[in-house]
């Protein structure tokens, strides 16, 4: 039975910032804290506040390949941000609370499977770590992530692109007009997970009306079909009309209404950089919506009234919604070989730019196309920092649902790569046994991390 309360973790990460004047800094949450406190929300019987806890290095290694190791990519603040989501998830699953809001930073949705550094203010992906934790510790299989940040959740997309059991839906400002420049309707997932990735790029300037058209006519119908056991909202507030990084015109009310329709088990804070004019109102409204309380009176002091939307842009969005809904409905009838070709592997060549740390990464990702499971994944990745220093690594990932043949092939690929001089580090992440291996060539040293057995 699910409890009646909404859980809240609040963690502003005082000791972590990219730089003191960077838009992603602790003040983002301090005004929210004041607003929630002034409204007396923490005294309401429907809200239960929790102290944050740390995720483990193993929780991170289950999800990412951090170069050279997890400890070099995360600080305690990162582990607390990720751990807060895990703590709330435990409370939801045990029935202590019905849902929760992790009001934490640093954010995570731009962090991909392989991590050479910080990109888009993110080192590790809080929602992805949560998904893998739910599968490992709570046996939850079908999970949906809906990303409502103004920026495309490219890291989350990357991590679950070949996973048929994780549905990833992102709506965001059109990538031709904003970082990270991806998230187009044709990005639909790999051959084993076609249409489990859905992207809805929105032209700049649109407001709540179009936002809710997309929610009602695309997102909710897809979720009803997919029937996830757990819904996560990657809750970015930078679609707000006052946000300095985005150009959308959503309001706090629009976000709250979305939350009450989506009914996420957990909302995890992502972006949102209007620290005084948007975040306190949006976060408060979302919290009230999660708790089933009245959010109709949460209104920004400078609310300009209803937005006049550009009719051409609106009709473009409506056409896209129709097309994507058709793709979704036809997902199991389409000819996969026609789209992805044939052969034992599906390959993607990727170039990834780390804007914060100025690293250029090149990747060759290969997925085993297996009739009995989602297939293991290998990533040959080279990260170039500046002009001289580069690190080349080889990563092997065995999925939770792996068949015996894929698991054996994956271990062979790991052993072979350990013998190749070109790789400084070689990693094997076996999600089916919750074991992580990391090999360091220089020192001929292997590190093995095994998670606790389920039930312990």
Within 51-118, residue ranges assigned H as helices are 57-61, 70-73, 76-93
Phi, psi of 347 (to 5 degrees): -115, 145
Q: Which is nearer to Zn ion, 228 or 375 (CB)?
A: 375
Q: Which residue is nearest to Zn ion (CB)?
A: 271
d(C-alpha 196, C-alpha 115), whole Å? 23
d(C-alpha 88, C-alpha 24), whole Å? 23
Q: Which is nearer to Zn ion, 28 or 98 (CB)?
A: 28
User: Least distance to Zn ion from the beta carbon of 85, Å?
Assistant: 17
Q: Which is nearer to Zn ion, 231 or 274 (CB)?
A: 274
* Residue 82: both structure tokens together: 């990720």
Question: What secondary structure letter does DSSP report for 453?
Answer: P
Q: Are 130 and 268 a contacting pair, CB within 8 Å?
A: yes
Q: Which is nearer to Zn ion, 30 or 370 (CB)?
A: 370
Least Cα distance to 6 among 92, 104, 97 occurs for 97
Least Cα distance to 122 among 257, 290, 10, 269 occurs for 269
User: Least distance to Zn ion from the beta carbon of 372, Å?
Assistant: 5
Summarize as ranges the residues that interact with Zn ion (CB under 5 A).
149, 151, 236, 238, 271, 370, 372-373, 403, 406
User: Least distance to Zn ion from the beta carbon of 120, Å?
Assistant: 7
Q: Which is nearer to Zn ion, 163 or 238 (CB)?
A: 238
User: Least distance to Zn ion from the beta carbon of 370, Å?
Assistant: 3
d(C-alpha 103, C-alpha 287), whole Å? 10
Contacting residues for 244 by C-beta, under 8 A, at least 6 apart: 23, 273, 274
User: Least distance to Zn ion from the beta carbon of 68, Å?
Assistant: 28
Residue with tokens 């939801």: 92
d(C-alpha 230, C-alpha 282), whole Å? 23
Residue with tokens 């607390």: 80
Q: Which is nearer to Zn ion, 133 or 354 (CB)?
A: 354
Least Cα distance to 275 among 102, 15, 23 occurs for 23
User: Least distance to Zn ion from the beta carbon of 197, Å?
Assistant: 18
User: Least distance to Zn ion from the beta carbon of 270, Å?
Assistant: 6
Q: If you compute the radius of gyration of the chain from its CA atoms, what whole number of angstroms results? A: 21
d(C-alpha 323, C-alpha 195), whole Å? 12
Q: Which is nearer to Zn ion, 98 or 110 (CB)?
A: 110
Q: Which is nearer to Zn ion, 364 or 370 (CB)?
A: 370
Q: Which is nearer to Zn ion, 111 or 393 (CB)?
A: 111
User: Least distance to Zn ion from the beta carbon of 369, Å?
Assistant: 9
110: annotated active-site residue: yes
CA 201 to chain centre: 17
Least Cα distance to 206 among 241, 252, 155 occurs for 241
d(C-alpha 450, C-alpha 60), whole Å? 12
Given the DSSP bridges, would you call strands 114-115 and 345-354 parallel, antiparallel or unpaired? unpaired
d(C-alpha 286, C-alpha 32), whole Å? 12
H or E element in which residue 268 lies: strand 266-269
* Residue 175: both structure tokens together: 């990538």
User: Least distance to Zn ion from the beta carbon of 401, Å?
Assistant: 8
Catalytic residue among 110, 116, 152, 172: 110
d(C-alpha 9, C-alpha 203), whole Å? 33
- Helix, strand and coil percent figures for the chain, each rounded to 5: 30, 25, 45
Residues noted as catalytic: 110
């Amino acid at each position: 039975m699910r409890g009646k309360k909404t859980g809240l973790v609040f963690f502003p990460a005082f000791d972590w910032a990219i730089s003191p004047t960077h838009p992603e800094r602790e003040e983002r949450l301090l005004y929210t804290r004041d607003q929630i406190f002034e409204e007396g929300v923490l005294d309401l019987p429907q809200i239960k506040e929790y102290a944050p806890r740390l995720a483990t290095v193993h929780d991170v290694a289950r999800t990412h390949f951090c170069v050279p190791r997890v400890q070099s990519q995360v600080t305690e603040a990162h582990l607390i941000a990720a751990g807060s989501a895990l703590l709330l998830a435990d409370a939801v699953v045990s029935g202590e609370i019905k849902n929760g809001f992790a009001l934490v930073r640093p954010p995570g949705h731009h962090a991909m499977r392989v991590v050479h550094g910080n990109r888009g203010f993110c080192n590790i992906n809080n929602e992805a770590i949560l998904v893998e934790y739910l599968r490992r510790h709570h046996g939850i299989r079908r999970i949906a992530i809906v990303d409502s940040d103004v920026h495309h959740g490219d890291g989350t997309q990357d991590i679950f692109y070949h996973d048929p059991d994780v549905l990833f839906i992102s709506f965001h400002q059109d990538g031709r007009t904003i970082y990270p420049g991806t998230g187009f309707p044709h990005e639909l997932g790999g051959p084993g997970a076609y249409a489990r990735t859905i992207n809805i790029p929105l032209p700049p300037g649109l407001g709540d009306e179009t936002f809710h058209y997309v929610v009602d006519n695309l997102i909710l119908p897809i979720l009803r079909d997919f029937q996830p056991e757990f819904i996560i909202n990657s809750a970015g507030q930078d679609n707000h009309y006052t946000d300095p990084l985005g150009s959308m015109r959503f309001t706090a009310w629009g976000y709250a209404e979305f939350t009450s329709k989506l009914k996420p088990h957990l909302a995890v804070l992502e972006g949102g950089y209007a620290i005084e004019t948007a975040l306190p109102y949006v976060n408060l409204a979302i919290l009230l919506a999660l708790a089933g309380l009245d959010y109709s009176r949460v209104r920004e002091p400078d609310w300009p009234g209803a937005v006049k939307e550009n009719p051409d842009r609106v009709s473009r969005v409506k056409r896209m919604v129709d097309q994507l809904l058709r793709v979704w409905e036809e997902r199991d009838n389409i000819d996969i070989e026609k789209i992805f070709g044939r052969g034992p592997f599906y390959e993607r060549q990727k170039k990834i730019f780390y804007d914060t740390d100025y690293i250029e990464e090149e990747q060759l990702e290969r997925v085993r196309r297996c009739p009995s499971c989602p297939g293991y994944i290998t990533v040959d990745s080279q990260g170039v920092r500046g002009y001289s220093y580069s690190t080349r690594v080889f990563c092997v990932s065995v999925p939770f649902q792996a068949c015996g043949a894929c698991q054996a092939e994956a271990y062979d690929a790991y052993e072979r790569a350990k013998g190749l001089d070109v790789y400084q580090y070689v990693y094997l992440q076996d999600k089916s046994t919750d074991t992580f291996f990391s090999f360091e060539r220089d020192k001929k040293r292997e590190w093995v991390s095994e998670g606790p057995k389920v039930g312990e």
